[in-house]
């Protein structure tokens, strides 16, 4: 069992309180997953400026020299700020190259996300404490995803926590389990994706990154996912300019969606939605199996 | 007199305890359920409960007696394993509404999600809108009435339950077939539509088709086919 939530602000109205509302939703999903938690949020960022969120769990890393080395590799300015055991690099260089360089060269560090709009944090422990430590409540922006994990088959580790992001501004939270992830991981590695965990959900994120890097829209990538992913899933997906939901054709894993003029919210359970402003007047429905739902900021 | 519980102030456990302590004839009103799970579960007395707002999982589960009305939506497992009595909701229900119900009546005013009436064992279910895929999966007894459309694999592996659908059926599951609507079925449907009004939106008996088991899947043995035919005729005759 896990809990997932997503909030997409269609209008400006609630963007100043995106993080606070996401934290409220996350709190309601605590008892679906008290082991660990994570969240990703999207803001408008600075045009051309890429942020790379890095986790160095249980080790001390002096980020300054890392940023200096990365500057030489990218041949571009790099700044960095630490947030507890996370660090956020900022550069106008190549984000994908920066991600790979950090994975290959900074021992013990994991790259959680990169892109011009996304930042991503995750940790073991009570979801409320995780939200507090990384200050989810003060984040502003257009959309956010969060996850609470109850580990049933693998250890409680930060690396097993969601969201997962392998491509630019693309991330995913997953309730379920995939059964063909090992073969798919090998396939994707042969097509230029790199993975940092043994987790099935990271493979799903990598799959979407690969499809979108090949020119697919999020809808096209998810059409492919319906064919190529085998297993149980309810996904909430964030991309630079949008938000998507997909459930497998059997749809055992719960999901509820609510929409108002101002926002779209998705959660494992309605009680996470019940506390959002205007929830009582929202249109509420259960997403259908194998149907792709997308919302775009451009629309 | 109506006793009121505000779940923003009192616990769900206190509410359910009060419902369990009731002896019959009382009325209860529940405010601010905010998607809480197991609201009004296990009621055994002849009481009336009105819930103003949407509920979470297993609302009115194991319901034995009395009437529960939810003015809102319900999540997974509405009235799961209901034995008798009535459970009505005005909005939509998500997965597995009225699953394994043994008796009584469940009315969903809006749509019901996947696997509505899965493994139903004698309950009557009336859905004002549509039902999701694999509804009435392995349904053993009782009636499922759908005033809207039914999604894929309706009545898969059905035993002796009856399904009535007013709209389109995306596809029938294994061993589920359309059947003749005979006078006794018309009468059953008429009484269920009357009991579920106004959630049925004016649906009329003549607009429905009946579906049930082809009886080719369960207890099937090719050597017994003649005996099965005889048995079926006998059973149909006593209905």
pLDDT in tens, B152-180: 999 999 999 999 999 999 999 999 999 99
pLDDT tens digits, one per residue of A229-259: 999 999 999 999 999 999 999 999 999 999 9
Position B226 pLDDT exceeds 80: no
Note whether B108 contacts A: Cβ–Cβ < 8 A.
no
Q: Which CATH number covers residue A220?
A: 3.60.20.10
**Cβ neighbours of B132 in A, within 8 Å:** 251, 286, 288-289
When pLDDT is averaged across residues A133-162 and rounded to a whole number, the result is 92
Q: Which helix (H) or strand (E) holds A223?
A: helix A218-228
ipTM confidence score: 0.85
- The reply to whether A206 falls in a domain is yes
**Cβ neighbours of B12 in A, within 8 Å:** none
When pLDDT is averaged across residues A286-296 and rounded to a whole number, the result is 95
Q: What is residue A155's predicted lDDT score, i.e. its pLDDT? A: 81
pLDDT tens digits, one per residue of A30-61: 999 999 999 999 999 998 999 999 999 999 99
Question: Which residues, in sequence order, are CB contacts of B58 under 8 Å at separation 6+?
Answer: B37, B38, B41, B76, B77, B78, B80
pLDDT tens digits, one per residue of A159-218: 889 999 999 999 999 999 999 999 999 999 999 999 999 999 999 999 999 999 999 999
In terms of Cα–Cα distance, which of B130, B225, B203, B207 is closest to B170?
A: B130
- The reply to whether A193 falls in a domain is yes
pTM of structure: 0.91
Cα separation, B29 vs A135, whole angstroms: 39
What is the torsional sign of CA A283, B69, A3, A287?
negative
Residue with tokens 């890429």: A50
Tally of domains in chain A: 1
Instruction: Output phi, psi for A263, to 5 deg.
Output: -150, 160
Nearest chain B residue (CA) to A270: B35
pLDDT band at B73; cut points 50, 70, 90: very high
User: Is there a contact between A269 and B54 if contact means CB atoms under 8 Å apart?
Assistant: no
Provide the domain limits for residue B14: 2-238
Q: B35: distance to nearest CA of chain A, Å?
A: 4
Tally of domains in chain B: 1
Q: A261: distance to nearest CA of chain B, Å?
A: 20
Question: Which residues, in sequence order, are CB contacts of A116 under 8 Å at separation 6+?
Answer: A45, A46, A47, A48, A49, A50, A51, A95, A168, A169, A240
pLDDT tens digits, one per residue of A15-32: 999 999 999 999 999 999
pLDDT tens digits, one per residue of A171-185: 999 999 999 999 999
- The reply to whether A101 falls in a domain is no
- The reply to whether A66 falls in a domain is no
> Would you say B152 and B131 are in contact if contact means Cβ atoms under 8 Å apart?
no
Q: What is residue B239's predicted lDDT score, i.e. its pLDDT? A: 45
Q: When comparing pLDDT for A150 and B185, which is higher?
A: B185
Note whether B54 contacts A: Cβ–Cβ < 8 A.
yes
A171 counts as catalytic: no
Q: Which CATH number covers residue B127?
A: 2.160.20.60
pLDDT tens digits, one per residue of A72-129: 999 999 999 999 999 999 999 999 999 999 999 999 999 999 999 999 999 999 999 9
Question: Which residues, in sequence order, are CB contacts of A271 under 8 Å at separation 6+?
Answer: A28, B34, B35, B36, B56
User: Is there a contact between B113 and A256 if contact means CB atoms under 8 Å apart?
Assistant: no
Cα separation, A199 vs A176, whole angstroms: 12
Provide the domain limits for residue A10: 2-44+117-296
Nearest chain B residue (CA) to A285: B92
- The reply to whether A174 falls in a domain is yes
**Cβ neighbours of A285 in B, within 8 Å:** 92, 111
């Amino acid at each position: 069992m896990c809990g997932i939530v997503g909030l997409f602000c269609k209008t400006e109205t609630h963007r100043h309180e995106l993080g606070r509302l996401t934290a409220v939703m996350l709190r309601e999903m605590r008892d679906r997953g008290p082991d660990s938690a994570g969240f990703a949020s999207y803001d408008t960022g600075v045009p051309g400026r890429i942020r790379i969120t890095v986790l160095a769990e249980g080790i001390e890393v002096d980020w300054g020299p890392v940023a200096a080395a990365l500057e030489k590799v990218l041949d571009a300015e790099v700044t960095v700020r630490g947030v507890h055991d996370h660090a956020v690099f900022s550069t106008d260089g190549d984000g994908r190259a920066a991600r790979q360089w950090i994975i290959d060269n900074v021992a013990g560090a994991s790259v959680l996300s990169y892109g011009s709009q996304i930042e991503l944090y995750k940790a073991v422990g009570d979801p409320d404490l995780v939200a507090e430590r990384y200050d989810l409540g003060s984040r502003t922006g257009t959309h956010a995803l969060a996850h609470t994990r109850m580990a049933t088959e693998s250890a409680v580790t930060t690396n097993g926590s969601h969201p997962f992001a392998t491509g630019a501004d693309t991330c995913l939270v997953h309730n379920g389990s995939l059964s063909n992830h090992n073969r798919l991981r090998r396939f994707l590695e042969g097509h230029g994706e790199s993975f940092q965990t043994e987790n099935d959900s990271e493979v799903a994120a990598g799959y979407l990154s690969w499809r979108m890097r090949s020119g697919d829209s999020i809808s096209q990538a998810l059409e492919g996912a319906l064919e190529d992913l085998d297993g149980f899933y309810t996904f909430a997906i964030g991309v630079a300019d949008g938000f998507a939901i997909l459930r497998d054709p059997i749809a055992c894993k719960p999901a509820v969606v609510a929409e108002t003029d101002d926002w779209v919210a998705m959660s494992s359970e309605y009680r996470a939605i019940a506390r959002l402003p205007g929830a009582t007047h929202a249109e509420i429905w259960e997403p259908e199996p194998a149907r792709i739902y997308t919302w775009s900021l451009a629309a | 007199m109506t006793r009121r519980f505000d779940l923003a102030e009192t616990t769900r456990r206190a509410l359910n305890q009060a419902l369990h302590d009731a002896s019959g004839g009382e009325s209860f009103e529940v405010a601010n359920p905010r998607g809480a799970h197991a609201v009004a579960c296990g009621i055994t007395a002849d009481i009336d409960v009105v819930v103003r707002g949407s509920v979470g999982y297993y609302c009115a589960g194991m319901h034995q007696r009395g009437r529960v009305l939810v003015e809102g939506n319900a999540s997974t497992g509405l009235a799961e394993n209901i034995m008798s009595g009535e459970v009505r909701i005005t909005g939509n229900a998500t997965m597995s509404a009225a699953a394994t119900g043994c008796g009584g009546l469940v009315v969903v005013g809006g749509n019901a999600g996947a696997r509505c009436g899965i493994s139903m064992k004698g309950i009557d279910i009336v859905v004002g809108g549509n039902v999701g895929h694999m509804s009435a999966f392995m349904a053993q007894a009782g009636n499922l009435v759908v005033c809207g459309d039914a999604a894929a694999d309706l009545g898969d592996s059905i035993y002796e339950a009856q399904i009535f659908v007013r709209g389109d059926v995306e596809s029938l599951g294994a061993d589920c077939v359309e059947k003749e609507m005979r006078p006794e079925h018309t009468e059953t449907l008429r009484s269920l539509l009357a009991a579920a009004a106004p959630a049925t939106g004016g649906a009329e008996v003549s607009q429905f088709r009946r579906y049930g088991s082809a009886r080719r899947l369960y207890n099937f043995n090719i050597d017994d086919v003649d005996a099965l035919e005889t048995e079926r005729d006998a059973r149909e005759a006593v209905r």
